[in-house]
Structure 1
Amino acid sequence: MIVITEPTISRLLAEARGGLDRLTPADAYAAQQDGALLVDIRREDQRERFGAPPGSFPIDLTILEWRLDPTSPWRSTLAAPGIRPVVFCQEGFSSSLAAARLQALGLVGATDVEGGFAAWAEAGLPVAETLPERIF
Structure 2
Amino acid sequence: MTTPFGALMTTIDDVLQTARDQYERLDAAAVTGEVAGGAVLVDIRPAAQRAAEGDVDGALVIERNVLEWRCDPSSDARIPEAVDHDVRWIVLCSEGYTSSLAAAALHQLGLHRATDVVGGYHALTDVLGPRPSVPARRGAPRV
TM class by smaller structure? 0.7 to 0.9
The within-5 A match list for 1:55-66 is 55-66=58-69
Deviation of 1:124 after TM superposition, in Å, equals 2.4
Deviation of 1:78 after TM superposition, in Å, equals 1.5
1:112 corresponds to which of 109, 116, 120:
116
Structure 1 gaps, min length 5: 129-134
Matched residues, number? 126
Q: Distance in 2 between matches of 1:64 and 1:124?
A: 25
Whether contact under 8 Å (1:20, 1:112) holds in the other structure is no
Q: Distance in 1 between matches of 2:87 and 2:54?
A: 24
Q: Distance in 1 between matches of 2:128 and 2:59?
A: 16
Q: Distance in 1 between matches of 2:27 and 2:53?
A: 19
Deviation of 1:72 after TM superposition, in Å, equals 0.6
Deviation of 1:52 after TM superposition, in Å, equals 2.3
1:70 corresponds to which of 62, 73, 84:
73
Which residue identity is paired with 1:93? Y
**RMSD of aligned alpha carbons:** 1.6
Q: TM-score, with normalisation over the residues of structure 2?
A: 0.82
- Give the match's secondary structure for 1:86: strand
The within-5 A match list for 1:124-135 is 124-125=128-129, 127-128=132-133
Aligned to 1:80: 83
Deviation of 1:53 after TM superposition, in Å, equals 2.1
Q: Distance in 1 between matches of 2:26 and 2:50?
A: 20
Whether contact under 8 Å (1:39, 1:85) holds in the other structure is yes
Whether contact under 8 Å (1:17, 1:96) holds in the other structure is yes
Matched, 1:94 2:94: no
Q: TM-score, with normalisation over the residues of structure 1?
A: 0.86
Structure 2 gaps, min length 5: 2-7, 134-142
Which residue identity is paired with 1:115? G
Deviation of 1:80 after TM superposition, in Å, equals 1.2
- The percentage of aligned residue pairs carrying the same residue is 40
Deviation of 1:54 after TM superposition, in Å, equals 1.9
2:17 corresponds to which of 10, 14, 18:
14
- Give the match's secondary structure for 1:123: helix
- Give the match's secondary structure for 2:128: coil
Deviation of 1:43 after TM superposition, in Å, equals 1.1
Deviation of 1:47 after TM superposition, in Å, equals 1.1
